[in-house]
């Protein structure tokens, strides 16, 4: 089982048997990254803008990322997982020392020394956004074959987009629904309201 890119569906999927669960295409283990990027550029058209940090309801593939709107559809770019060093404060074992000092009084003189807090470095995995600004925005389709978990959905593949309070459900004509939880729901709703005014999306948004 592994994460693979289905070129047909423009999405990374988790495959048990080397087949795409949505279109049943056989997925090669290696592929020509530049060729796929070129095809992706043709499909997405120009990248217009990011529309918000979102969390996807799915398993085994990255869930945190940024949703972008392009001339022809929606592109999800997952955050990268990076290793970060965090400094955590740890209390000294003052309780044990206090008990010991209660039993043996001379230890009271040492208590101020052992009460100090210790700072310890801890390495943790963190999701970190891939920053695309200005003309870098147009690099987005190139990242489809390079960032596991990325996907593109063309507007013409979307039957309806439903607003379910804190979740947005994108129902496609083929394949499972995409469930999106925006991190800033109000700002995200405004962005999608703008999108719904465009002819390309009017059907999908008007149907709810
Ligand atoms: Zn597929």
Q: Which residues have CB less than 5 Å away from ligand 1 (the ion)?
A: 6, 8-9, 20, 22-23, 25
Residues 83, 128: Cα–Cα separation, whole Å: 9
Side-chain-facing half-sphere of 15: CA atoms under 13 Å: 21
Model pLDDT, residue 125:
87
Q: Per residue in 84-106, pLDDT tens?
A: 888 888 766 667 667 777 777 77
DSSP code at position 28: P
Record the pTM.
0.81
pLDDT value at position 127?
86
Q: 13 CA distance to ligand 1 centroid (A)?
A: 8
Q: Are 188 and 57 in contact (CB under 8 A)?
A: no
CA 64 to CA 56: how far, in whole Å? 7
- Asked whether 79 and 65 are in contact (CB, 8 A), the reply is yes
Return the pLDDT at 29. Answer: 83
The DSSP symbol for 188 reads H
Distance 116 CA to ligand 1 centre (A): 58
**φ, ψ for residue 35, nearest 5 deg:** -65, -40
d(CA 2, CA 101): 57
For residue 103, the model assigns a pLDDT of 75
pLDDT in tens, 133-175: 888 999 999 999 999 999 999 999 999 999 998 899 999 998 8
| Interval 44-84: pLDDT, tens | 999 999 999 999 999 889 999 999 999 999 999 999 988 98
pLDDT value of residue 97: 65
Q: Residue 106 C-alpha to ligand 1 middle, in angstroms? A: 73
Running DSSP on this structure, what letter comes out for residue 93?
A: S
- Domains plus CATH for the chain? 2-76+129-206 (2.30.29.30), 85-123 (no CATH)
Reading the block at residue 51, the tokens are 């529309």
pLDDT at 88: 86
d(CA 138, CA 45): 9
Backbone torsions φ then ψ of 62, nearest 5 degrees: -55, 140
């Amino acid at each position: 089982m592994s994460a693979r890119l289905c070129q047909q569906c423009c999405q990374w999927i988790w495959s048990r048997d080397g087949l795409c669960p949505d279109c049943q295409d056989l997925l090669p283990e290696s592929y020509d990254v530049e060729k796929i990027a070129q095809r992706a550029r043709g499909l997405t058209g120009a990248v217009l803008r990011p529309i918000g940090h979102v969390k996807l309801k799915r398993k085994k593939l990255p869930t945190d990322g940024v949703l972008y709107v392009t001339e022809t559809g929606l592109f999800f770019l997952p955050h990268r997982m990076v290793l970060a060093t965090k400094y955590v404060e740890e209390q000294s074992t003052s309780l044990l020392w206090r008990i010991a000092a209660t039993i043996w009084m001379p230890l009271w003189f040492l208590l101020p020394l052992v009460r100090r807090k210790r700072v310890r470095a801890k390495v943790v995995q963190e999701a970190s956004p891939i920053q695309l600004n200005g003309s870098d925005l147009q690099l987005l389709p190139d990242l489809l074959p390079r960032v596991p978990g990325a996907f593109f959905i063309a507007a013409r593949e979307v039957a309806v987009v439903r607003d379910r309070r804190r979740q947005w459900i994108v129902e496609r004509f083929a394949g499972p629904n995409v469930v999106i939880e925006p991190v800033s729901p109000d700002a995200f709703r405004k962005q999608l309201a703008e999108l719904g005014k465009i002819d390309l999306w009017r059907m999908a948004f008007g149907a709810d």
